[in-house]
Structure 1
Amino acid sequence: MTTITNALPNIPRLYTGICEWLSCVIYLLVMYRRAPKWRSITAAAVGLPAIIGIQYFDGAMDIDFWIFGMLLAVAGMYAVIFFGAQTTMRECLYITTRAFVLAELIASLHWQIATFIGFNDHTNLRRHAPLAGLELPTVCLATIIYFVGFGMAWIIERRNFERERPMDPSRTVVMGSVIITIVTFAMSNLSFISTNTPFSGSVGQEIFYIRTLVDLCGYAILKAQQEQARVTRANVELTSIDAKLQSEHQEYLQSKENIESLGRIAHDLKHQIAALRAEVDPEHAAAGFEQLEASVKEYSAQEHTGNSVLDVILTSKVKTCAQHGITLTTVADGKLLSNMSSMDIATLFGNALDNAIEAASKVTKPERRLIKLALHTHGRFTVIRVENYYESALQRDNQGDLRTTKSDDRAHGYGVKSIQHIAKLYNGNVSIKTHDHWFTLTVLLPH
């Protein structure tokens, strides 16, 4: 170990604590929060003096407890994020690593610029330790750097996080972020431990430059890691949606074949029943034949909208509704779907009606098990509207969008996504509204 030439004072504890707190606030603003707003504000307000207090407590400890002090600071940031967002422990650990590296980067950049200006002005900042850097010019400089630095971080991070749902990073991603953070912190502070390594500096200003540069690289690597995780997650969702589309299409083809077969059977049975009526006409037999004829009508009834694909879908869903005691009312002009592929029609209407049937089947009173489907034109748009009565409570995310009511929200919820995906293919949009226990899904497709 050699002595650092022109050693500069360490970053004041106050600035370090403020940077750590601001990093936590940035991620609380951009990430998905299960906690109500008042809880997030309270956690942030309590976190500022707590994090600064931890920094001064660390400064009072012996140098041998330096690593313990850093772990204590990370724990303070973890607590602020955990209580402020009410997130899972795994997600909180991932966010904390991001926040810690960001805090180290901004704090190092600020103090590097502050000491450089002081050095050029021949100001011996070391004489003011531990209050070095608390002069008014340096405070003003800190305000500017923090505003610009954390402002840029907010702009960058808000595009990387989805506020309507949690990230739920995998264990591999979390462990990778922890390792990246540890390596970044170790490499950026290596010169303070020993200058006799290939990666250390020996001059004060040089050491601060190395520290800032390594922190910047660490932050960039963590961002790249998150981007890769986002791409992987998006590919998984697209694969799931594509699999569902294929499944819906195969279901349509099978339903079409079954309905055509049932139609032929029903046609033959009608003639057989007519022949039996001519031969035998007792009252009890007539009653039995009427029941048989009614059951045949159930299978022979088919929808005629002007679109063969939509006819198959509606005929299949009418039967499903009958099994659940649901009244399905349709007013549809199938000719408006002439520019859509059979697969898209089957998926769009199949998903919309499946969701409606699932909700309506949970209604306790049979007379309220209602579903209405309308397909018509309005101005320059084709309007598809599916309405159903519901009783179960609806869950919404932070942006007011509806969330799946199923327990496994990672394995479900692709029905609406499939509808949105298809609408986007035809330059349309999807809206969902609820009013007075009526759920309305509207799809607008331009002609």
Structure 2
Amino acid sequence: MSAADALVRRHRLLNVAFFLVVAVMLFHQSEHAAQIVQKDIRGDACPNDCRGLLGFAFDVEWVHAAYNHSILLLLVGLFLAYRMWRPAWRRARPWAWAILALGVFVLQGYHVVEHTVKLEQWFANGHRSPTPGLLGQPLPMAEGVNFSLIELHFVINTLVLLCVLAGYLGFGFHRHIWTGRPRLGLALAGATVGLFLLILGVGFSFRPPTEHLAAGVHKGPLVLDRAQTLVGKPGAVVQGGIRVLADNVTVRGIEVRGGEYGIEVDGAEDVVLEDVTISGAGLDGIHVRRGSVIIRDCAIGALSSPYAQGIDISFAADKGMSHVRRCSVLGGMEGIVTHFANVRIVGNRVSRTSLRGITMTEMSMGAIERNDVRGGLGVGIFCGDYSHCSISRNTVRDTRSDVPSGDRSRMGFGIVSHFGAVARVGPNTISTSPGGVGAFIGARLERD
């Protein structure tokens, strides 16, 4: 019998406990692996459809924090109960002892710090997930194949698990779980599998259903008043608009024609609108009130009124951050506008607007980055009414002067800060826009 076997063999109950902790960690790792598959392989709409196997029931920060704190306490408790600080353990398997100690005290210890910060952020922002923690702050939002929070925590969990497995297998704990008692071992294994299947079933019961809209024209307005994913088959059209009234709704791959609003989101949070095409709306292509949304890869045009707007997100400053990414808006009075909301407007193309291309106003906060704004009348990008805007890496061109208005702030400005607003302006490309960059009525421009 080896020295490692002699140390492990005498602790039967602890060996069972260590086995259960490793089993839980393996199951938790499968959650992170499922998120990677959903995001990077299947291309699901994140964050709504990238929640792993159980996230539809348990995807709140306090659950993640409680799990990681519990795992750390259990691993430290096992380390102390086995008395692994004694030299006999280090002499028996020095490499296994070192890797296990690294995984428990350094990697999982830091992992707990990350989730403690994430939990503090969750309480501070009104209980909205996901939160970035420390390492996640510079990372982009989860979409497509990029390195986001999902990949970061997959890497951290994988490193911790590999270190714990190296120690567990290196010392041979797996050979001494139920020595001489096979029935107990089988019962324990069966109970563990049964418990995991039960938890998995509970998680899947909370998963919003996916509905498919068949090809052809469907009469609207279509009302979505429960959590779900609505996916349009090629050629699926809704005539008369879509209303989203429930949280955790995803709408993908649908053309919407007509209606007062093409898609209306009213009082709903965690809504994803992806790959939607909207035309003929009377007031707004996409109209969001008191909600939080992720809008990406949309196309809006042929608005039926000269006063219509492409995307309007308003009165949601107490909700989560909304995002508008890679959308194309053609025409309308304002292409993308926010009122009293927190929004990131990134990578969009806005053209031929009659008032302003992109507007962030009425005490809004957010970022306007990497957009292409062209051919508008008066103003390309506008930060107004005590809003705080970060404006960088945009291209604004061919902004025409609105001489008939008599408004000095509308004389072909690429970027305007107006009425007490603070615009933090980074590098932008402004061409054929005679006004350049300007500030009016107590507003400020700050160079970033």
TM-score (norm: length of structure 1): 0.25
TM-score, normalised via structure 2 length: 0.25
Higher helix share: 1
Which fold has the larger relative contact order, with Cα–Cα distance below 8 Å and residues 6 or more apart in sequence?
Answer: 1
